[in-house]
Amino acid sequence: MVGAMASENVVNTIAKKRDGGVLNQGEIESFVRGATDGSWADYQLTAMLMAIFLRGLNDTETRALTLAMMHSGRVLKLDSIRAPKVDKHSTGGVGDKISLHLAPMVAACGVVVPMISGRGLGHTGGTLDKLESIPGYKVAMPLDAFRAQLDRIGVGIIGQTADLAPADGKLYALRDVSATVACIPLICASILSKKLAEGTDALVLDVKFGEGAFMPDLASARELARRMVAVSNAAGVATRALLTRMDEPIGRAVGNALELVESIECLQGRGPADTMELTLALGEHMLVLAGRCASPTEARAELLQVVRNGAAWERFLDMVRAQGGSVDHVQYPERLPQAPVVEAFKTQRGGVVTAVRARRIAEIAHGLGAGRNRAGEPINPAVGISHLAKVGERVALGGELCRVHAGTPAAARLAQQQLDTAFVLGPDAVIPVALVVEIIS
């Protein structure tokens, strides 16, 4: 009888949202609890996800869902670490290796950076996959060991543990196979349930929009950013979102080891201009929100200083060493995984690069083996695209637009054919546009 009543309550809750009703906190907590203890069947969870996808959640419901998912597992307590704690999250882009060098840069400025990151999703690359290009680097770590590392060196980048927001893992798996991924309140709750469980004092969000992003336009990115900032601030974590363009790849490399090399170059003060500009923009707000600097100008000066004096590089080496990675391979990047076939892709006509289609570049890199078609599938850390021409650059007839790093000659030939649709050239100069379009706090 009790089981029948519980099942009836589940059905009633699903029907309420299906019909456009507003769920109360108890109903939302029942849904999340059902995802972790099995009291809701998978088909019931999926029905609720579809109801939310179609009917949406208001701000109060979104906050309740986020907090319930956050408390579905363990919450990391970092109160014993006296320094301010701040994290950064990107909604996913092409060539987005920013976290790899930003985290040690900010840590070198005296702020603790507990970063729990993910693997590649769809056409976008994953921070963990890039770090695993370093032989021995361990992205799996118990939370107690992670806390000890943060206390010791002030920075760490690991993957989500099984006991951190477990409801998100269950619900995301169902969203992935039920066409309910692209839902702003569900995206908000998924991201923030993990970030709030980290125990940070502040959070900076890089919400991307454009051809290579999950959010196709500025309006949808703004709505996602607004939701996340409101929920996170209400939960007591000072939060700011930067809306950034994602139409061409960030930097000049797409692919795991190739992007790692570019991050190493950033830490040594010789990274691509757009990569460094976005890094500094995000780092400024991290240091200001953490209370380490009074203004973005002061914060930028601090970040540039720790790059110039080598402190950021040393902190990166500390992190690699602490997580079992080979320091030798990052000090000598030519020892990182190398593709056996490297070929230049050259233009058949000269002109100014007016577009580099980020999603197309990502799809080609994915096809070379840099990404996965299903969870758990192995990737090739060495393959991808490097030496990308940037929008606004003039390329002569027969000039190089990029280089293909492939596992076989056949794969390289296919990528060469596909690259014809990735670049657009024109006769006229291109007016540069700002990467950071808007800030929401």
Known catalytic residues? 89, 168, 175, 190, 194
**3-class secondary-structure state, position 117:** strand
Place of tokens 């992670």: 146
**DSSP summary character for residue 111:** -
Chain-centre distance for alpha carbon 147: 22
> Across-strand partners of 390?
none
Cα–Cα distance measured from residue 423 to residue 326, given in angstroms and rounded to the nearest whole number:
36
What tokens were used for 125? Answer: 């690359």
What tokens were used for 98? Answer: 């920013």
DSSP secondary structure string, 26-90?
A: HHHHHHHHHHHHS-S-HHHHHHHHHHHHHH---HHHHHHHHHHHHTTS-----TT--S-BEEEEE
**3-class secondary-structure state, position 393:** coil
Q: What is the 3-state secondary structure (H, E, C) of 135-179?
A: CCCCCCCCHHHHHHHHHHHCEEEEECCCCCCHHHHHHHHHHHCCC
> Across-strand partners of 402?
345
Element (H, E) at 427: none
> Across-strand partners of 241?
205, 440
Q: Mutual orientation of helices 184-196 and 42-55 as an angle, nearest 10°?
A: 120
Return the closest-CA partner of residue 205 out of 215, 219, 195, 213.
195
Dihedral, 378, 382, 383, 385 alpha carbons, nearest 10: 140
